[in-house]
Amino acid sequence: MAHLGECVLSVTPRQKADGMELNFQQNMSDAMAVLPKLSTGLDVNVRFTGVTDFEYTPECIVFDLLDIPLYHGWLVDPQSPEMVAAVGKLSYNQLVEKIIDYKHSAESSRVSEGLVAEQFLESTATQLSYHGLCELNATAREGEISVFFRNNHFSTMIKHKGHLYLLVTDQGFLQEESVVWESLHNVEGDGNFCDSDFRLCHPPQRAPPTPHLPPSAQEQQRQIDQDYLVAVSLQQQQGGAPGPLSDLELARQLQQEEYQQQQQLQQQGSGAQQSRRRDKDSDCVLL
């Protein structure tokens, strides 16, 4: 945060005119006020007319001052004139308000337009359209570092040899040093992972889950005690008093018999499906 603040303060106005100077100072003040929000996320409002079209807010000033392009790919397809007319130049917030207003209108034409606008949001729920992806490839410059906004997240994006890549920052890849970039080539989000030199790499497969082993004697005793506590708790919730000690002995005996039957089935080579079925039966018997 301190480094970003220093970067903003080091920016000089591009034009020296008095009016531009005052405007620049105001932008600097607005940007410094926005910086603390970077730790939790900025609120931006996209427009569906272009990959660089956002509602101009103080949050966008930071990107302008630091000369960092801010892109999105949530565009309406110009080959759908009905959607183009329904969406127009509205921002996302304005379009949602329009949909709510038009759907409750008494005019059938307004209701239809509201439904078309709602259909656009539903069909582009991933906040990326193929038309937007094409525009991104055409707009982004080779080697350019930019910020890509999608699904309320900001990602670092670069264009390398005509292809778009997003910097991998997911916590699940923290220990995968070879995974650095993920290609952005479709709207589904299943890109290819690459290393720092944009070479394809495959994250190592996770270790398979350990097979289910028969419970030890200690685990059996712990399960018996837990089952008894659950039975007592249920009985108290129903307004009854806890049963005598013989109930505990009976529960232990029934549970012990079930475990012995399970071990015999496993020794006879019974399948896992039958073992799971008996586990369910034993739970029902105990309760």
Q: Are 203 and 214 in contact (CB under 8 A)?
A: no
Q: What φ, ψ does residue 164 adopt, rounded to 5°?
A: -95, 140
Mean pLDDT on 196-203: 85
Tokens of 257: 């018999």
Residues 6+ apart with CB under 8 A from 141: 159
What pLDDT score was predicted for residue 278? 47
Q: Are 198 and 204 in contact (CB under 8 A)?
A: no
C-alpha to C-alpha distances, 104 to 29, 30, 85, 86, 93, nearest whole angstrom: 42, 39, 19, 16, 18
Mean of all residue pLDDT scores within the chain: 79
Confidence of residue 148 (pLDDT cuts 50, 70, 90): very high
| Separation between Cα atoms, residue 160 and residue 144, nearest integer Å | 8
Is 90 exceeded by the pLDDT of residue 282? Answer: no
Tokens of 2: 């301190």
Between 87 and 17, residue with greater pLDDT: 87
Closest to 95 (Cα-Cα) out of 152, 47, 27: 47
pLDDT tens readout for residues 200-221: 987 655 445 444 445 555 665 5
> For 77-216, where are the alpha helices, taking DSSP H only?
81-87, 92-103, 108-123, 130-139
| Separation between Cα atoms, residue 4 and residue 26, nearest integer Å | 18
Is 70 exceeded by the pLDDT of residue 67? Answer: yes
What pLDDT score was predicted for residue 50? 96
Is 80 exceeded by the pLDDT of residue 266? Answer: no
What is the pTM assigned to this prediction?
A: 0.66
- Cβ neighbour number for residue 256 with a 10 Å cutoff: 13
What pLDDT score was predicted for residue 174? 85
Is 60 exceeded by the pLDDT of residue 287? Answer: no
| Separation between Cα atoms, residue 71 and residue 86, nearest integer Å | 23
Confidence of residue 75 (pLDDT cuts 50, 70, 90): very high
Between 274 and 52, residue with greater pLDDT: 52
Is 70 exceeded by the pLDDT of residue 7? Answer: yes
What pLDDT score was predicted for residue 219? 60
What pLDDT score was predicted for residue 275? 46
Is 50 exceeded by the pLDDT of residue 245? Answer: no
> Per-residue b/e over 22-48, b at no fewer than 16 CB within 10 Å?
eebeebbebbbebeeeeeeebebebbb
Mean pLDDT on 226-240: 55
- Measure the CA angle with vertex 44, ends 105 and 144; round to 5°: 130
